[in-house]
């Protein structure tokens, strides 16, 4: 036996013997003091019990989020690479690939606060100040469109915030409903005489293979004297004439815009069947008065801009995408902006082509 299982057993034994009942009976250890119990009892409950005093605004929380969370979760909580999104995903829980976020899945805000406080940031757990935790949670709520940009989250108003999926869970009743059904005596009659393997996965053709019948996960042995690959001859291709202005947007520009739009998908949908999520859907955005998608809860500045006559054109969309916060102070959209004029042109081309 390796030393690790012994250490685990020893640790478990010490923990068991240190319980108050056994400590008193066996004379080993002592009962925990109230101060020690208070230090261990860090749970935060849905009704606010366990919350420490503190507060921070959305805008101050954004700076804390950028410094501590954005490298994994994106500047506006959309998720990066394999790190999860924290915002968006509402209405996807019945989809084949649901997006489970604070707004779409989590039931209580206390769960968010407790998890950030105990476990984040990754690799630096419990290094955040209490006020910073309030700020990060406030910014996540803002990214979900659940609060305005002037919102300040504190222990005093914490329980006033309700997450959209609070009623999407039910009490686990398996002890009363399922356990009695499966707690009966097992049937031991007419059992199968013997168990044997009759077919393999390869026989059932469930393992993907290449043309030679090898599993696709097989890694070729490059050290076994494999022959050098044959020279590939590429036929010359005559370049096509660039599309004229009457033929619509450049397909390459549209394709580049589609790639750029990936960073928008956590909040916006575009195309057939598009719905508003954390942000409004972007179908037919050109020619639309700002802040007028029916049923979507816009920020106050966006509504005011629409009432003042702002209409989305290729020019106004370009100005907004270059610096959303600079173009419209107080906008809920936390995206920092596209880096170049070429990126903006590509995004405009994609937005226009996707709904034509």
* 351: Cα within 13 Å, side-chain hemisphere: 26
CB 47 within 8 A of CB 40: no
Q: What is the mean pLDDT of residues 301-315?
A: 89
Per-residue model confidence (pLDDT) at position 258: 85
The CATH number given to 250-354 is: 1.10.760.10
Task: Answer whether 289's CB lies under 8 Å from 302's CB.
Answer: no
Cis peptide leading into residue 90 (ω within 30°): no
Is pLDDT at 157 greater than 80 in this prediction? yes
Residue 165 has pLDDT above 90, yes or no: yes
To the nearest whole number, what is the mean pLDDT of the chain? 81
User: Distance between CA 18 and CA 84 in Å, rounded?
Assistant: 39
22 confidence band (pLDDT: 50, 70, 90):
low
Burial of 267 (0-12, 13-18, 19+ CB in 10 A): buried
Section 174-182 average pLDDT = 88
With cut-offs at 50, 70 and 90, classify the pLDDT of residue 118.
very high
Cα–Cα distance list, 294 to 147, 220, 309, 310 (Å): 19, 56, 17, 17
Q: Which of 284, 277, 336 is nearest to 313 (CA)?
A: 284
In degrees and rounded to multiples of 5, residue 57 shows phi and psi of -85, 165
- Top pLDDT among 41 and 161 is at 161
Contact present, 86 and 143 (Cβ < 8 Å): yes
Lowest mean pLDDT of 199-208, 213-222, 257-266, 335-344, name the range.
Answer: 213-222
Q: Which CA distances in Å does 120 have to 177, 244, 348?
A: 38, 53, 37
Name the residue with tokens 């009490």: 171
Q: How many CB atoms lie within 10 A of CB 107?
A: 15
Residue 128 in tokens? 């955040």
Q: So what's the pLDDT on residue 106? A: 95
Q: Is the pLDDT of residue 171 over 90?
A: no
pLDDT at 23: 57
Quote the CA–CA distance of 104 and 347 in Å, as a whole number: 27
Give the residue with greater pLDDT, 9 vs 97: 97
Give the per-residue pLDDT at 334.
62
CATH architecture of the domain 55-168 equals Orthogonal Bundle (1.10)
Q: Which residue has the higher pLDDT, 113 or 123?
A: 113
Chain position carrying tokens 């860090």: 42
Is pLDDT above 50 for 224?
no
- Residues across the chain: 356
Residue with the two structure tokens 């397909």: 251
Q: Is the pLDDT of residue 139 over 80?
A: yes
For the whole model, what pTM was predicted? 0.51
CA distance 220 to 210: 12
Residue holding tokens 């010359």?
A: 236
Amino acid 40: pLDDT: 81
pLDDT at residue 128 greater than cutoff 70: yes
- Of the pLDDT bands very low, low, confident and very high (cuts 50, 70, 90), residue 240 is low
Is the CB of residue 97 less than 8 Å from the CB of residue 87?
no
């Amino acid at each position: 036996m390796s030393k690790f299982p012994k250490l685990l057993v020893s640790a478990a034994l010490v923990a068991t013997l240190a319980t108050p009942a056994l400590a008193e009976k066996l004379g080993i250890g002592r009962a925990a003091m109230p101060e020690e119990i208070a230090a261990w009892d860090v749970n935060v409950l849905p009704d606010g019990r366990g919350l420490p005093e503190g507060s921070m605004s959305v805008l101050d929380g954004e700076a804390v989020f950028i410094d501590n969370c954005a490298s994994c979760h994106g500047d506006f909580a959309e998720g990066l690479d394999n790190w999860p999104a924290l915002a968006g995903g509402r209405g996807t829980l019945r989809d084949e690939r649901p997006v489970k976020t604070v707004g779409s899945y989590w039931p209580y805000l206390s769960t968010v606060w407790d998890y950030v406080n105990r476990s984040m940031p990754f690799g630096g757990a419990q290094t955040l100040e209490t006020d910073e935790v309030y700020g990060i949670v406030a910014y996540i709520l803002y990214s979900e469109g659940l609060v305005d940009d002037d919102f300040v989250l504190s222990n005093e108003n914490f329980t006033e915030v309700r997450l959209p999926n609070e009623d999407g869970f039910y009490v686990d009743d398996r002890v009363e409903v399922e356990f009695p059904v499966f707690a009966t005596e097992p049937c031991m009659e007419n059992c199968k005489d013997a168990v044997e393997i009759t077919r393999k996965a390869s026989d059932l053709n469930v393992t993907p293979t290449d043309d030679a019948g090898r599993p696709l996960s097989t890694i070729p042995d490059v050290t076994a004297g494999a022959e050098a690959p044959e020279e590939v001859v590429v036929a010359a291709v005559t370049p096509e004439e660039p599309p004229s202005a009457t033929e619509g947007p450049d397909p390459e520009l549209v394709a580049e815009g589609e790639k750029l739009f990936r960073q928008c998908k956590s909040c916006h949908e575009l195309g057939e069947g598009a719905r508003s999520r954390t942000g409004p859907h972007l179908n037919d955005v050109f020619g639309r008065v700002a802040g007028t998608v029916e049923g979507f809860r816009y920020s106050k500045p966006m509504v005011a801009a629409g009432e003042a006559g702002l209409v989305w054109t290729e020019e106004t969309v370009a100005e907004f995408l270059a610096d959303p916060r600079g173009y419209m102070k107080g906008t809920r959209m936390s995206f920092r902006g596209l880096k170049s004029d070429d990126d903006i042109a590509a995004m405009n081309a994609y937005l226009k082509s996707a709904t034509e």
